[in-house]
């Protein structure tokens, strides 16, 4: 059932009726009113803060069709599915459509039936599409992922540079540009390229309060990864890798160990990519292992963790990718495995680029290294990168929860700021550190900075130490960056005040990931804990199961039906009528009418039959020893070791080994024991037992022994049963 919409509807009424929200978040309402008044609008808002609503809602209540320029086909399909799920006619126009489908979409647009039309920039440039759009009634143009316009951004796309000229062909239309990640330099570049210097700018804080940031040294990374996934079993997450080969390798590694994981990268054929993405969105897959090709704008709100198995290329890209966690506002984690070897590898990838591109890439990698090395609050570092100052630590990152030693400086900060001034506020951090430490290299000498009175006044400390100090006082707001001269440092107004009246500043000791020999497993044990839920856990699981079934029946991802937040609230307040359901966060009348009946019936039955105050902890922890044993046995079977060798190496009996193998197999892991089976049973005898299990009503070994009347041993039957489950069940 579609929600009844009308042009001119009040935006607050539409907010409740269509999306189920009682109030706007942050500056959403101000942004919407600015756009609806016909003004160009520039929105910089972190992932999960509600950017999409800023153009979806005005498109719904205004006459005509809004064009949404979006960089990825997957992003378009996801957004269209979500909108159609709440009764809004949204369509996309891209290369995946057949000719007849394109004709249908265009016909609906011209008839005024489509409120939002998602278009790829490549499709927008086609002459036939420009001609078609000229005849349509367009309300405004939204440019999503606008950072793709900037060559200074982490995902520059040249075709985005042509957008402005095409918009001009369609008429004098209001533009709203939106991005989740834009440094001050990227922001300036976006406005210039869209000739939107006069646009109203709405910049929300980049802070995401529900995300926990952690960086770990990349030591035994696969082992750490397996432990983390097992301790978060059943939760949805994304693992980012830098190469296609690594993506496939990690996905296979997880699958072998019983984790429902799939790969996603540009080397897969489009059908496979789309199928894997759909399985992840529909919760048929828990973990997506991907290159950066996956996830841009994917609106899956219940991603509970984002892991970077390889060090990312830039802090901007890293923040964009971590922003895909916890978009429903619930606690989520962002874990990065860092190594200097990854940074060296990335620098080698840049060797064939132009000098300018190489220098820019090197600066971005240095920012990434600094983020890992510095023991300053992770959130303060990220916010500083995006030009936002945060006075206090977040207390929700590894550096805040496990701080390294701090010490105070004052005269050192004065020296650093004076060095920036005396060198003309034209140089980057490395040069300033060299001058402070008295390094008389060719670059310093060429500018005669070795003759300045401040040269070498900090020679009692290393260049690396000075680098850290300069970076940290910058995070404290004493230093700003020159937007026109990328990388150059300036003394900020706050820095000038400091020079007039210096005061002690707390500085943190840096990490040294090449030297830190952490006991990672023990650290993980301390960090991972089972947290009780305020909602009824048993009911929540029943609701999730129902949501998944309804999603499959309707051919929609489960979260399109109801979000995790909505399900948690249902499992807290127990709505038993459709009217009660409309009071749940994120549930409007349209959703309640379309999907609600089965849910209120389940809740009513549960309330009647169960003690609704009882809570059921559904989180199961897997110990490190069991994980290690399981992985090692799988690896030994993969190497085709004789089972007698495996039991002897583990100092266990064959009975105990069989139990371990069965536990691995019955948990969903496929084991290939053919090499061993062929040595103890010929093919016909194996087929006979396999045929029995295929037709039997039970896999009970006692029944099988009785059926074969001693023809086969218990060990043989159990091993063939493992083969049977591996081939037919896993």
The predicted-structure confidence for 247-294, as pLDDT tens digits, reads as follows 999 999 888 877 899 999 888 888 888 889 889 988 899 999 998 755
HEC string for 636-660: HHHCCCCHHHHHHHHCCCHHHHHHH
Tell whether the torsion through CA atoms of 297, 208, 587 and 554 is positive or negative. Answer: positive
Q: Is residue 560 part of a domain?
A: yes
**pLDDT tens profile 390-422:** 888 999 999 999 999 999 999 999 999 999 999
**How many structural domains are present in the chain?**
5
Domain hosting residue 436, numbered range: 405-508
The pLDDT confidence band at residue 618, using thresholds 50, 70 and 90, is very low
Helix (H) or strand (E) run with residue 306 in it: strand 303-308
Q: What percent of the chain has pLDDT over 90?
A: 38
CA atoms of 434 and 452, how far apart (whole Å):
13
Q: Is residue 528 part of a domain?
A: no
Mean pLDDT on 680-709? 82
Q: In angstroms, what CA-CA distances link 83 with 219, 551, 644? A: 44, 15, 58
pLDDT at 666: 58
The pLDDT confidence band at residue 728, using thresholds 50, 70 and 90, is low
Domain of residue 467, CATH code? 1.10.10.10
Q: Is residue 517 part of a domain?
A: no
Task: Say if residue 583 is in the same domain as residue 645.
Answer: no
Q: Which of the listed residues 400, 416, 431 is the one where a domain comes to its end?
A: 400
Which of 21-30, 73-82, 145-154, 370-379 is least confident? Answer: 145-154
Q: Is residue 526 part of a domain?
A: no
Task: Burial-class residue 229 by CB neighbours within 10 Å (0-12, 13-18, 19+).
Answer: buried
Beta strands of 95-210 (E only): which ranges? 116-119, 138-143, 175-179, 200-203
Task: Say if residue 255 is in the same domain as residue 183.
Answer: no
Task: Say if residue 349 is in the same domain as residue 416.
Answer: no
Task: Say if residue 451 is in the same domain as residue 416.
Answer: yes
Q: Is residue 614 part of a domain?
A: no
Task: Say if residue 252 is in the same domain as residue 358.
Answer: yes
Residue 337, SS3 per DSSP:
strand
CA atoms of 470 and 489, how far apart (whole Å):
10
**pLDDT tens profile 137-189:** 999 999 988 888 876 666 677 778 888 989 999 989 999 999 887 888 888 88
Task: Say if residue 411 is in the same domain as residue 472.
Answer: yes
Mean pLDDT of the chain: 85
Q: Which of the listed residues 163, 185, 203 is the one where a domain comes to its end?
A: 203
Task: Say if residue 685 is in the same domain as residue 599.
Answer: no
Query: Are the CB atoms for 118 and 76 separated by under 8 Å?
Result: yes
Q: Which of the listed residues 609, 633, 668 is the one where a domain comes to its end?
A: 609
Q: Is residue 246 part of a domain?
A: yes
CA atoms of 422 and 452, how far apart (whole Å):
8
Tokens of 677: 């089976």
**pTM score > 0.75 for this model?**
no
Task: Say if residue 259 is in the same domain as residue 140.
Answer: no
> Phi, psi at residue 299, to the nearest 5°?
-95, 65
CA atoms of 198 and 186, how far apart (whole Å):
16
In whole angstroms, what separates CA 61 from the centre of its chain?
Answer: 31
Mean pLDDT on 74-94? 87
The pLDDT confidence band at residue 8, using thresholds 50, 70 and 90, is low
DSSP conformation letters of 575-587:
--SHHHHTTSTT-
Q: Scanning the structure block, which residue is given the tokens 């992840």?
A: 280
Which of 7-21, 313-327, 600-614 is least confident? Answer: 600-614
Q: Is residue 519 part of a domain?
A: no
What number of other Cβ atoms are within 10 A of residue 115's Cβ? 24
Task: Say if residue 364 is in the same domain as residue 295.
Answer: yes
Domain of residue 39, CATH code? 3.40.50.300
The pLDDT confidence band at residue 588, using thresholds 50, 70 and 90, is low
Tokens of 550: 């309804």
What number of other Cβ atoms are within 10 A of residue 443's Cβ? 14
Task: Say if residue 58 is in the same domain as residue 71.
Answer: yes
Task: Say if residue 70 is in the same domain as residue 150.
Answer: yes
Q: Is residue 1 part of a domain?
A: no
Task: Say if residue 301 is in the same domain as residue 395.
Answer: yes
CA atoms of 176 and 184, how far apart (whole Å):
18
Strand pairing class (175-179; 90-93): unpaired
Domain of residue 663, CATH code? 1.10.10.1390
Residue 80, SS3 per DSSP:
helix
Residue 480, SS3 per DSSP:
strand
The pLDDT confidence band at residue 656, using thresholds 50, 70 and 90, is confident
Mean pLDDT on 89-104? 90
> Phi, psi at residue 377, to the nearest 5°?
-40, 125
Domain of residue 605, CATH code? 1.10.150.80
């Amino acid at each position: 059932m579609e929600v009844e919409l009308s042009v001119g509807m009040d935006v607050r009424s539409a907010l409740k009726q269509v999306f189920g929200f009682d109030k706007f978040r942050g500056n959403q309402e101000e942004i919407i009113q600015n756009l609806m008044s016909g003004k160009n609008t520039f929105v910089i808002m972190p992932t999960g803060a509600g950017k999409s609503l800023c153009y979806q809602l005005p498109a719904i209540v205004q006459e005509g069709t809004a064009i949404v320029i979006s960089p990825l086909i997957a992003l378009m399909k996801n957004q269209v599915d979500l909108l159609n799920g709440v009764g809004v006619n949204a369509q996309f126009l891209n290369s995946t459509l057949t000719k007849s489908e394109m004709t249908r979409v265009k016909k609906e647009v011209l008839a005024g039936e489509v409120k939002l039309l998602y278009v790829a920039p490549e499709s927008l440039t086609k002459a036939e599409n420009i001609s078609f759009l000229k005849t349509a009634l367009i309300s405004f143009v939204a440019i999503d992922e606008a950072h793709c316009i900037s060559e200074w951004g982490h995902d520059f796309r040249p075709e985005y540079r042509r957008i402005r000229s095409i918009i001009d062909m369609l008429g004098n239309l209001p533009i709203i540009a939106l991005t989740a990640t834009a440094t001050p330099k990227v922001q300036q570049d976006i406005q210039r390229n869209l000739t939107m210097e006069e646009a109203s700018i709405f910049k929300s804080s980049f802070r995401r309060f529900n995300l926990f940031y952690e960086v770990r040294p990349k030591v035994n990374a696969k082992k750490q990864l397996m432990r983390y996934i097992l301790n978060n079993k059943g939760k949805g997450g994304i693992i980012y890798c830098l190469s296609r080969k690594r993506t496939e390798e990690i996905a296979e590694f997880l699958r072998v160990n019983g984790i429902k994981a799939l790969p996603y990268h540009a080397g897969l054929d489009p059908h496979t990519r789309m199928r894997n993405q759909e399985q992840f969105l529909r919760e048929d897959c828990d973990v997506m292992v991907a290159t950066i090709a996956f996830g841009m704008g994917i609106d899956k709100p219940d991603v509970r963790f984002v892991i970077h198995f390889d060090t990312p290329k830039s802090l901007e890209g890293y923040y964009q990718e971590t922003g895909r966690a916890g978009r429903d506002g619930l606690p989520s984690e962002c874990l990065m495995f860092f190594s200097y070897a990854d940074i060296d590898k990335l620098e080698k990838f840049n060797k064939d680029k132009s000098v300018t591109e190489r220098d820019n890439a090197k600066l971005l990698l240095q920012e990434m290294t600094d983020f890992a090395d510095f023991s300053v609050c992770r959130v303060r570092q990220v916010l500083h990168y995006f030009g936002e100052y945060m006075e206090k630590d977040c207390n929700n990152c590894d550096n805040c929860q496990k701080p390294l030693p701090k010490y105070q400086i004052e005269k050192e900060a004065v020296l650093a700021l004076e060095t920036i001034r005396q060198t003309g506020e034209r140089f980057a951090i490395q040069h300033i550190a060299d001058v402070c430490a008295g390094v008389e290299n060719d670059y310093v000498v060429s500018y005669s900075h070795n003759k300045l009175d401040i040269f070498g006044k900090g020679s009692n400390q290393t260049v690396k130490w000075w680098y850290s100090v300069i970076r940290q006082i910058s995070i404290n707001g004493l230093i700003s960056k020159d937007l026109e001269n990328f990388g150059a440092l300036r003394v900020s107004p706050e820095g000038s005040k400091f020079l007039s009246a210096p005061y002690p500043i707390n500085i943190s000791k840096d990490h040294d990931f090449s030297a830190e020999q952490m006991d990672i497993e023990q650290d993980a044990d301390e960090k991972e804990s089972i947290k009780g839920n305020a909602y009824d856990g048993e009911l929540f699981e029943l609701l999730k199961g129902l949501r998944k079934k309804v999603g499959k029946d309707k051919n929609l991802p489960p979260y399109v039906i109801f979000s995790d937040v909505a399900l948690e609230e249902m499992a807290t307040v127990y709505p038993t009528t459709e009217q009660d359901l409309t009071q749940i966060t994120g549930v409007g009348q349209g959703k309640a009418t379309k999907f609600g009946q089965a849910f209120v019936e389940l809740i009513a039955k549960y309330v009647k039959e169960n003690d609704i105050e009882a809570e059921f902890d559904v989180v199961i922890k897997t110990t490190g020893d069991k994980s290690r044993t399981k992985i090692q046995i799988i690896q030994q079977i993969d190497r085709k070791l004789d089972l007698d060798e495996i039991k002897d190496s583990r100092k266990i009996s064959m009975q105990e080994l069989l139990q371990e193998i069965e536990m691995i197999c019955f948990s969903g892991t496929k084991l290939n024991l053919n090499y061993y089976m062929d040595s103890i049973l010929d093919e016909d005898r194996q087929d006979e037992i396999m045929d029995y299990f295929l037709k039997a009503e039970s896999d009970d070994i006692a029944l099988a022994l009785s059926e074969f009347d001693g023809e086969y041993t218990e060990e043989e039957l159990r091993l063939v049963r493992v083969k049977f489950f591996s081939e037919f069940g896993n």
